[in-house]
């Protein structure tokens, strides 16, 4: 079996007196697309933020590419190859699309922008527009493109489809597919659009009270209305 790229073992984390992640364990292997679903407030965002070091680890281990990263700063984790696209769309509204991308280049040559534009032709068309003038879908594309300029080895996406029209959601999912299919970048995606994300992912993890309560191939879970109703509170068809 391929060794996991990312491994969480008994992760405990929370805010103040509240424990949100309660011995969360999961693994992600190379090129995989993993969906994380569950009701509101079960800890999905907290799980991604804890992997990035934005919420401190209280117990357990986080291992990335064989290294225990649980005490590293968010910046160090990003340097190790963890990419993160937060729910809040991480862009500068007062800068143009191109300036936003340049800010994400770090020390990479400017030619790397061509890769971003190839992946998102819409951003090439809008390169001189201000970030704040973009549609929600375009802002999400910019946020993802910026994260990719950091050359992540694994990318964490927090509700990237939220508030977007169906056609834009499909556009984004097509790009996310290329990440794993063509670039072998595994994707962990938290999403409320359960039907669409299960159509996209290989494997699904259902969270409740900060731990995995169900794990299955995504296609299988998509048909499993009983499990979805029980843990996610909705039927997808």
Q: Which of 8, 26, 37, 42 binds ligand ATP (CB under 6 A)?
A: 42
Q: Which of 13, 35, 44, 155 binds ligand ATP (CB under 6 A)?
A: 44
Q: What is the footprint of ligand ATP within residues 11-30 (CB under 6 A)?
A: 15, 18, 20
Minimum gap (Å) between residue 58 Cβ and ligand ATP: 14
Q: Which of 1, 2, 17, 40 binds ligand ATP (CB under 6 A)?
A: 40
Q: Which of 46, 139, 140, 211 binds ligand ATP (CB under 6 A)?
A: 46
Q: Does residue 45 interact with ligand ATP by CB under 6 A?
A: yes
Nearer to ligand ATP, 42 or 51 (CB): 42
Nearer to ligand ATP, 43 or 137 (CB): 43
Minimum gap (Å) between residue 38 Cβ and ligand ATP: 6
Q: Does residue 50 interact with ligand ATP by CB under 6 A?
A: no
Q: How many CB atoms lie within 10 A of CB 45?
A: 18
Minimum gap (Å) between residue 190 Cβ and ligand ATP: 6
What is d(CA 178, CA 92) in angstroms, rounded to the nearest whole number? 26
What is d(CA 4, CA 66) in angstroms, rounded to the nearest whole number? 8
Q: List Cα–Cα distances, 157 to 46, 172, 179, in angstroms.
A: 12, 11, 12
- Binding segment for ligand ATP (CB under 6 A), chosen from 1-9, 40-48, 93-101, 103-111, is 40-48
CA angle at 184 for the pair 54 and 42, rounded to the nearest 5° = 35
Among all chains, which residue has been given the structure tokens 């929370």?
Answer: 14
Instruction: Sort 169 into a burial class: Cβ within 10 Å, 0-12 / 13-18 / 19+.
Output: buried
- Binding segment for ligand ATP (CB under 6 A), chosen from 4-12, 33-41, 57-65, 103-111, is 33-41
Compute φ and ψ for 230, nearest 5 degrees.
-70, -45
Q: What is the footprint of ligand ATP within residues 210-229 (CB under 6 A)?
A: none
Q: Residue 164's closest CA among 144, 191, 137?
A: 137
Q: Does residue 43 interact with ligand ATP by CB under 6 A?
A: yes
Site residues (CB under 6 A) for ligand ATP?
15, 18, 20, 38, 40-46
């Amino acid at each position: 079996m391929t060794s996991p790229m990312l491994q969480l073992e008994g992760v405990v984390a929370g805010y103040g007196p509240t424990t949100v992640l309660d011995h969360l364990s999961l693994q992600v292997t190379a090129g995989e697309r993993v969906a994380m679903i569950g009701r509101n407030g079960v800890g999905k965002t907290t799980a991604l933020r804890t992997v990035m070091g934005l919420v401190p680890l209280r117990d357990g281990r986080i291992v990335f590419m064989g290294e225990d990263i649980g005490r590293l700063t968010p910046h160090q984790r990003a340097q190790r190859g963890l990419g993160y696209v937060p729910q809040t769309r991480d862009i500068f509204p007062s800068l143009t699309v191109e300036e936003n991308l340049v800010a994400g280049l770090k020390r990479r040559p400017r030619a790397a922008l061509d890769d971003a534009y190839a992946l998102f032709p819409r951003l090439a068309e809008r390169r001189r527009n201000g970030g704040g003038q973009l549609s929600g879908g375009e802002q999400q594309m910019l946020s993802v493109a910026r994260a990719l300029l950091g050359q992540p080895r694994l990318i964490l996406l927090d509700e990237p489809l939220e508030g977007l029209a169906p056609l834009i959601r499909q556009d984004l999912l097509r790009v996310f597919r290329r990440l794993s299919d063509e670039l072998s970048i595994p994707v962990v995606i938290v999403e409320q659009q359960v039907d669409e994300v299960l159509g996209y992912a290989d494997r699904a993890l259902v969270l409740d009270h900060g731990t995995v309560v169900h794990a299955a191939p995504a296609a299988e879970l998509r048909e499993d209305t009983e499990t979805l109703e029980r843990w996610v509170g909705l039927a997808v068809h």
